[in-house]
């Protein structure tokens, strides 16, 4: 994408990107890291017209 000077990347984050979670420290750490990676790549690649965004859906009721 950088070589072609265009592209879009969408990362699926979660609310735990921004807050700690009870009983899910590894998940929260991974989502926090993904949030920071999204920001870093957006900053680095914006000059090459590559858009990097993250979406963070809210809580969804499931059987889990």
27 is catalytic: yes
17 vs 32: CA distance, rounded Å: 4
47 vs 10: CA distance, rounded Å: 17
Token digits of residue 47: 């000059």
Catalytic residue among 10, 24, 27, 43: 27
Residues with active-site annotation: 27
């Amino acid at each position: 994408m950088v070589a072609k000077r265009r592209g879009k990347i969408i990362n699926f984050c979660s609310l735990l990107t921004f807050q700690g979670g009870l009983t899910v420290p590894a998940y929260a750490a991974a989502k926090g890291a993904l949030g920071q990676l999204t920001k870093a790549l957006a900053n680095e690649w914006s000059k090459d017209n590559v858009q990097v965004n993250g979406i963070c859906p809210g809580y969804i009721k499931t059987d889990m």
